[in-house]
Each structure stands twice: as structure tokens, then as C-alpha cells.
């Protein structure tokens, strides 16, 4: 049976909540062995995951993060060996046009069959849409580091981006996409049934 580490991030970029943090705290599934809420920090996020994997044996690491502007839950097909953002992390660090691992491959692809998931989710009318890029900020950094350090050990990993919650869009531009947390839970439960 799968033994999963589930991670999410604390609020960032002026937000007071982060749907990934809320889901990590409240989502329940028998496959979850442990859970972590991570700071939006390049250095600290992976250090905490690394420490946790030294204490427990996980078969899978599922990472959640917020991606404002998306309307559906988005499993990410690739993490890329690139940091490129003007947004500082929690430690006020900014990286542009930088490699995550100097000698590492350009990208890692998740071991999960996301195309099949998307077909199944559509049949169930679940708001899931496969994305090909985890971006170039802390989410991608964490996803790449996890894949780089653990895929050769047979530990599968996946990054999943979440839309804003409706309450996060109240002071944003009209028509900013959002999704109720209950819908995110349904998709996350579907994902856990696939692993």
C-alpha cells in the first residue's frame, strides 16, 4: 500500500490563506503517512522534505501549491531545472535564469499517467486539467529537487497546483478564476485513488 507524504505551502505574495495549506491540514486519506506545511522558501522547503524522508519511508510524495489564475486543479507533468522569478521567497531570495542543480537534467517527468487521469476525471466531471510546467518559482524548485533526489530510489512524486479559493478573489480583478475547497478535495481524493 502507498505511504504518502503530503505537502503544502503557507500563504505568500500578500495572501492571508493558501488552499494548499488548508488541504494539507484537513484532507484525510488512509494512504497519508505524514504531512508538512512548508514555507515558500527555496532552501527551507526542500530541507524540511529531506528531513522527513530521512525519518520515514514514503512510496510517494505529493506536493500541493497555489497557482492563482488557474480554474482547475492541475497535476504537473514536468519540473524543470530552472529558477526564474522576480518574486522574492520567504527568505527574500530572488533567482533569475538559474539552474537548480548545475549538472542535473533539464527536466523530470512524473511517473504517473496524467493523460489517463484527465480522461477519467472528465468522465466524473471533476475539475482537473493536466499542466506541463510547474513554473520557475519555489513550487518548481521543490518538485525538481524531490524528483532529482528520490526518483532513482523508486519514490514517485507529483506536484499539484491549486486555484485560488473564492474568498481570495474578492479584491482581485473581476473574473479571476477560483474553486471551492470542497471541489479541490474531490479532485485530491481522486488523485489519491490513482496512486
Q: Which three cell numbers stand for residue 132?
A: 506541463
Q: CA angle 71-72-78, nearest 5°?
A: 115
Q: CA angle 40-46-48, nearest 5°?
A: 90
Known catalytic residues? Answer: 76, 139, 161
- Calpha distance 192→2 (Å, rounded): 9
**CB neighbours (10 Å) of residue 181?**
18
Angle between helices 114-123 and 181-194 (to 10 degrees): 130
Ranges assigned E (strand) in the chain:
4-9, 32-38, 60-66, 74-75, 78-80, 107-109, 156-162
**Beta pairing class for 4-9 and 60-66:** parallel
Q: Which three cell numbers stand for residue 120?
A: 477519467
What residues form DSSP beta bridges with 38?
9
**153 secondary structure, DSSP code:** G
Amino acid at each position: 500500500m502507498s505511504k504518502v507524504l503530503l505537502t503544502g505551502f503557507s500563504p505568500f505574495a500578500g495572501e492571508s490563506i493558501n488552499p494548499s495549506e488548508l488541504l494539507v491540514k484537513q484532507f484525510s486519506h488512509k494512504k497519508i503517512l505524514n504531512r508538512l506545511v512548508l514555507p515558500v522558501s527555496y532552501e527551507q522547503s526542500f530541507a524540511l522534505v529531506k528531513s522527513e524522508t530521512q525519518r520515514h519511508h514514503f512510496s510517494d510524495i505529493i506536493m500541493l501549491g497555489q497557482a492563482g489564475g488557474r480554474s482547475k486543479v492541475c497535476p504537473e507533468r514536468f519540473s524543470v531545472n530552472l529558477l526564474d522569478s522576480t518574486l522574492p521567497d520567504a527568505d527574500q531570495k530572488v533567482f533569475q535564469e538559474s539552474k537548480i542543480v548545475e549538472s542535473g537534467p533539464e527536466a523530470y517527468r512524473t511517473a504517473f499517467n496524467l493523460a489517463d487521469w484527465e480522461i477519467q476525471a472528465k468522465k466524473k466531471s471533476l475539475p482537473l486539467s493536466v499542466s506541463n510546467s510547474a513554473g520557475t518559482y519555489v513550487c518548481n524548485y521543490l518538485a525538481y529537487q524531490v524528483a532529482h533526489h528520490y526518483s532513482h530510489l523508486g519514490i514517485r512524486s507529483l506536484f499539484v497546483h491549486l486555484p485560488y479559493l473564492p474568498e481570495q478573489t474578492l479584491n482581485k480583478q473581476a473574473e479571476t478564476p477560483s474553486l471551492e475547497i470542497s471541489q479541490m478535495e474531490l479532485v485530491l481524493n481522486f488523485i489519491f485513488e490513482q496512486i
